[in-house]
Amino acid sequence: MEIQSLRLRSSNIENIKLVKAINRIQRLIVSLNMRGMSSEIIAIVNTDIKRLNAFLDNDRKTTKAINKVYSKVLKLIENELKLVTKNHYRNLWMVLGMCFGIPFGTIFSTVLNNYGFIGIGLPIGMAVGIAYGTTLDKKAEKDGRQLDVICDSEFF
């Protein structure tokens, strides 16, 4: 059993964002079809794809619907199959590192008694987060848990 693909109509070529969203989800579908998955997961994904194929038009609602299905499928395969996209952990831990870096910058500026240094924790936390996330991405690639899809965070 395979995951169905989206039907691309010639009228959709005019909307660039829609074409990008369709290409993004098509790459994900191709990458998932190359892996062995349970029939339950394939049935869930196929249900969403059938719903998208039913109203595939050239408007913003379709682009949003495709992006929602893309996010839903990524979360599903991450939770059920432990598969992640390329740079998933790097992007996740970069943000978390920045969040943890802000308090360190505050502590650093308080110790030096110069609040001009309050922002120094942000880039330090970001660098630590990127380093740790890259390590996790390499481990996921080594374990064969990484999909051949680059995570586009422009719509999350």
DSSP per-residue letters across 81-95? H--EEETHHHHHHHH
Do 64 and 77 lie in a common domain?
yes
- Domain membership of residue 5 (yes or no) is no
Do 97 and 73 lie in a common domain?
no
Residues contacting residue 64 through CB under 8 Å, at least 6 positions apart: none
At 2 the pLDDT is 83
The rounded Cα 52 to chain-centroid distance in angstroms is: 20
What is the pTM for the complete model shown?
Answer: 0.80
Q: From CA 45, how far away is CA 32, in angstroms rounded? A: 10
Question: What average pLDDT does the segment 141-145 reach?
Answer: 93
Tell which residue, 12, 146, 31, has the closest CA to residue 3: 31
Q: From CA 43, how far away is CA 48, in angstroms rounded? A: 9
Do 97 and 155 lie in a common domain?
yes
- Domain membership of residue 51 (yes or no) is yes
Query: What digits encode the pLDDT tens for the residues 28-74?
Result: 888 888 887 888 988 999 899 988 888 766 677 888 888 999 999 99
At 8 the pLDDT is 67
Q: Which domain holds residue 56?
A: 10-81
Could you tell me whether strands 146-150 and 84-86 are parallel, antiparallel, or unpaired per DSSP bridges?
Answer: parallel
- Domain membership of residue 149 (yes or no) is yes
- Domain membership of residue 3 (yes or no) is no
Q: Number of folded domains in the chain?
A: 2
Task: Give the Å distances, CA to CA, from 12 to 4, 22, 73, 105.
Answer: 19, 10, 22, 48
Do 107 and 74 lie in a common domain?
no
